[in-house]
Structure 1
Amino acid sequence: MTDHSSGGPGLEFRAAAEAGDTDAMAALGGALAAAGAVAEAERWWRRAAQAGNLGATHRLAQLLYRTGRDEEADAWLNRRAGSSILEQLGGGQLDGPLPTPPPPPIQAPAPIPVPAATPTQVPIPGTAPTSTPASAPTPPTTDDPQRSYDVGRLLARTGRTAEAEPQFRHAAEAGHLEAMRELALLLAAGDRRPEARLWWERAATGGDTASMCHLGLDHRARGEAGDAEALFARAAAAGSLEGALQLGLLHLAAGHLSAAEEPLRTAAHAGHTGAFHAYATVLDRTDRGGAGRLWLERAAEAGDLDAMFDLAGRLDPADAEHWWRRAVERDHPPSMYAYAEHLIGTGRGDVGRRLRRAAAERGVAPAMAAVSEECAEAGDVEAAAQWLLRAGEAGHGRAAYLLGLMNGEGGDLRTAELWYRRALDAGYEDPACATRNLGLILEGDGRMTEAEELYRKGAADGHPMTMVDLSSVLVRKGKTGEAELWLRRGARTGLPAAMNDLGSLLSSSGRRQEAAQWWRRAAEGGDPVAAVNYGNLLQLAGATDDAERLYRSYAATGHPRVLGALADLLDGCGRESEAEAVRRGEVSPEPAGRSVDDAVAARVEESGELVELVLRLQRGDAGAVDRMVELGTRLGQPPADILASAAAELKRAGKVAVAEELYHRAIRDGSADAMFNLGILLAETGRQRQAETWYRRAAEAGSGKAPNNLGHLLLTAGRLDEAEPWLRQGAEQGDTTAMRNLAQLLSRTRRVEEAQRWVDRAVDAEGGTPTEATTVEDVIEKIRSGDLVGHLVTADDDPELLVSTFRPRAEAGDRDAMFLLGNVHARNGQDAEAAEWLGRAARAGHHEAAGDLGRLLLGAKRPAEAEPWLRQAAENGVAEAGWMLGAVLLETGNGAEAGRWLHPGAVAGDLNAAFYYGLHHLGEERVLDAERWLHKAADGGNSDAMYALGMLLGQNGTTPDGDTWLRRAARAGHPEAQKWLFTASGG
């Protein structure tokens, strides 16, 4: 039901306008327009113009001209028609195009409702107020105050307000109460409110109840509710139904239903039609809906358009159609939209869509949003964006949310923040999403207190996802006790994400059995991260088949952690080809696999100690290994598998020496996979000869991926004759990576046709289509289509062949060939030639080339020259250029803009962006946020982030953690970290 209790601009005119006074409608439109509420002003001017008010017609036409609707403005000024909008749609049959609404014949407006009385003159003590009129006044033609008043009314009704003013003033100064009131209304409409108040006060002193009401409305609009109440009560006590109505509305706005009921009942039972709807509202809110419905019907029958709209909303669509039509015929925009949706839903879409657009043109926010969606579906993106913006500005919550998303994705976080706030203020139907997106912006800016306050409000309102967001902030602030309370509240609502986070929090505090229970519930409830957490427990408990089923049940989500966990599990079971397929995204889902057998779950919970052991390993604690072997063996898991899994965890934690020792223990227990993984560890730490030995032993023992790794190691070392048989073995066993490496070897030895056959086999095995790629046209076409499988564009190809292939096309102006040629030169260390061709491609509009040129210049320590090229690439969607541009801006002291470029990449998971975003926060002295983003980059393997995080933690007093990260950075080859390690070890 429409809220009749609100205030706002033009409050003193609203009651009379709603009662049908066209002068009040025109004045209300003027007040709304002055306050910036142009859409609502247009609605009131349109209603008054349709009722024949000439002044409103002119104001409406002026607005239409200003907003580019010239034809409609001309129609209002020059045409006369009496048909309704539905009749114009086709004789009431809803056929034909929707016309521009023309003005009806001009008729005299209804008088302002006041109690019937003989015109009264009272002596006014002192000097009457004066004012200089805006234009030369028409002097009164008689000394008779009543005659001056009558002339003034006639002039005002025909829009000649400047001439009416001196007539009203002459009568008012002679003590004519009605003239005082009309003069005050005229002054108020002309923004001369102080003098208007003086005349209302004098008329009210003389007993004019209508002036008491106008003055009361003026007080209410200024927030002076006490003075307004006293005036309304005086008018009501003197028998004014309008006074009773306004007194009731004032109480209704304050939520005082019992106080509102009596005056509204009095006005309604006495026949004041303006009170019917408000009285119905009181009855509804006090659980007397049956009586409220009767009064709502009476209000609708009396012509209250908002009542018609509200009544239609309570009826079945067939019965509602009568009231929608009546309201639409009188140009009621909300009813237009509701009726339009009804028509569209009942197969009358053409007319419904035209009526919906008419509602949108008249300022109905949901209609604007619907028209925006309609334009988007039709491919008119520009119109869709314009309507979406209009809907957001009109207070449509979903439109505001979508505008927040669009600006956020475009990197304009400040504007996105404003729209998310407007979405929440407008009551967007999914406040948790808007709150999260707004909170992430605040967190990214280091405004943690604001983010916490925002999350607290959403959590207090009962939004489970916001409870999870709040708990995350609280954990970072060390308030784990309060975080647990909020997570429990969220988990009790059934939200899987809350259950998962609660499990993680409990696990970190040693409550392992309960953690396993929550992870199980979250995994069965649909949380992929919980599936990984619980799947790890299942594997540790020996329930590998159950873990696989659980992972496969989430395969359709494409979640990288689930697919990674499934691939690792398959690798551990010796099913390397299946694991490779999973890593390519080729996995058969098992929808029914999320339910875990109770007996299996009991085993997991009984062995909850394994949770803590895994966490200890992840922190680099090698002392957990023997206990893991003991527990795992008791649960039926081979010791070699446990040792290999523990070694992998320790390696990820940076404990390379201990991991190497555990791999050797697993090898002694007969694990071929441990040989292979040991080879990887040795190769990553620069011990190629030892890596070769273990790759060879693993390959001879039957490890599926070992032939490729051994062959690639030999290929990289230039030992092509030794590499070829191992790569052939891996390729013939179905390893697509080995196929590609073999193709590179063959192309380097000029066996192009056989190389192409292996490339095509790899593509075919991965679900692609084999294609030829032996000409520049083919390569360029593959580049344009995003397919980079052609062996001619790999780093190890013959550079002379590539240059001779691409140069003719590049010199002929093909920008793709320029780009490829520039990259060939760059790979071969020919930086000057690379810069020349990349620059030519970039100037021709090749944005990837601009990014590569920027990277080349950065590598040459020429950041000032790199910046414009990186900006070109970043502004045209080259994601990697965004973080490089941010890094340049950060180095040159432009931190604010740097943050805007770094944020999208960091959020999307780019490790370099996360590293520089962490440095950005560090420069802004937001240490907690800096630590969070550096952690993200370091966890992903960025050695610069490892070093920066280690130094930061050491400075903050967490020396053991700092040392851990510095050692990991040193092992990853970071030169400064290696210097630190040399010094720390006494070197």
Structure 2
Amino acid sequence: MSAQPHAPTGRPAAVRNIVSGGTIHGPVIQADAISGITITHSGFAGTLPDPESWPTAADLDPVAFGVRPAHRVHGHAPLPRYVLRDRDHELDTALGQARVGGGLVLLLGEPFTGKSRAALVAMARGPAGRRVFAPPRGTDLRGLPALLQGRPERYLIWLDDLDEHLGDGGLEPRLLAQLTALKVVVVATMREDAYDACRAQPGGRVLDLAHIVELAREWSPAERERVAREAARTGDPRLIGAVSSSGPEGVAAYLALGPLLWDEWWRARRADRHPRGHALVRAALDLARCGLTGALPMDLLLKVHEGYADVTGMERESAEDALAWAVERRHGLLPLLVRVTGDTWRAAPFCVETVSPAQELPDVPGPVWGCALEAARSDAAYEYADVAAKARVAFQRAADAGDTSALHNLGLLADSLGEGDEAERWFRRAAEAGEPQSAGRLGRMLAERGEGKAAEPFLEAAAEAGNAEAATLLGKLLRARAEHWFTAGAKAGNPEAAHLLGDLLLGKGDVHGAFDSYLEAAAARYEPVARNMGVIHLLWHEGKVADVWMRRAAASGDACAAGYLDPLSVDTVERAVEFFQDDAERGRGLDAANLGTLLEEHDRPDEARTWYLKGYQDGDAYGAFRLAELCQKTGDEAEAAAWYRKAAAMGHPGALRALGEAPAAEPRGPGDQSR
């Protein structure tokens, strides 16, 4: 970049013009034979601080005088070390000329290009001891010439964002001429848009007198190489992140925008701001902290972001609005969430790289770790062992802090890595600490290796907490124990035990075993077994024998047995259709295919086909199987085979046997034991 054309070295033309016309109203400027200019009292000096109180250029705190702060990192200075810019030599040359003859040096560039810091560092590189006046915006500067008149020292005036120091009482050509005559150096910065706007205004004529040095936002390869060397030398994570992640926005913007955007994102968690947008970015950030630093599917982010209990009011913001907020480029430069490809995303690198040194976020919640581990297990882009190692450290830290759910997570992690003994140890610790989910896992592990009795108290604790799987497994274990003791009671001659044993066996599908147990109870003249004997004979299609048993049971007051004899029970096709049709139409349960079976058996195959198809569409494999059987009957072998395959794909045993993919079932019947 080339410097803006400016007045030749020496006294600017504006000064020569001002003093060439004789008397000037306002501060009086008169030519003399020695210095060429004499400045009399202006009337404004009393409003300005004593120059002896001005700090030196080396003592200026960059943040206090215009440099935007970076994230603070323990063990490092508030700002990363300054890295030389390509324009620093030109800036030093311009300042050197201004120190000889006074004048205005203007550093021009877009926002967040590092203008303020480059200028302040350049001033500090100059002759030692020069004092600097940095007036607040709106300060009346007209008293400066009189204040500095006759002082042997040389001074610097620092006007960061020069557009805020123009206008009435601010810097204008005549005032600049007076300061230049005193060899005062005015150093200023200005944004490109403000420069363009001011040039079009009368107050912007002072810009014609400036020596302009332009500073680009995007850093050159040489500048980035210097950043990399400084990062390697100091180990400053802010510079390391800038090397790896800053792009066209430039290193300065990367460092300066980080704290601003971080603050905006963190405050957005409030219900009256952008809570869902905050949670969406937090999901991407937490997954990156887990080790998933690549592209993240939006489905995964949506799943994770709903789990932050400390973020309220998400129902007020749609997912679409949340995403739009997260991807908006702040200051036209950096978003919080970055699209990778398609519908995959990642947290902005500055977010990921600032959270570790800043330590501003809570620990990643256990459920987020669970999602990260699940994603790493199924996505070859990630090494599961690496994510698991990070998770183990996080869970151990949480467990040491008293989080009992972390004990359970350590058990799950060990189990996923095939560390059975380690998993059991963690599940036991968690269960003893009151974690019902761990009690359920431990109970299953014990049951699977044959320690059913030891498993029961753990399964019961989990079942009482609402764990359906634990309740089911506990019931199966108790049923097995009940069968053992009912068998013992039956062998000892107790007819009630024989009756109850028969019920268990019938529920398992062991019709012959159940019949034998019922027969023992009947032999002992145990009247309550009568209905069960009738049921067995109904299953064997021995209606007359069943009728005898049912009448006996009904006579003894068994209302259920009496129902079997009720002539109003389902005895017509239409009544049977009514029985199935309501749930079949609503797609509930198994009734659509059942209704089709009823209609087919009564010579209504076209209607049956409709209900079989609905059953299949509702997810019932039997519907597909019955369609295959129906096609087989009509001789459509190809269509039958297609439906058999659909039913087999859904796991239907009959279809698997029809395709020769499962062993044939053993025939079942009453044999010689019927009575």
TM-score past 0.5 threshold: no
The structure where strand makes up a greater share of residues is 2
The structure where helix makes up a greater share of residues is 1
Normalised by the length of structure 2, the TM-score is 0.29
Tell me which structure has the larger Cα radius of gyration: 2
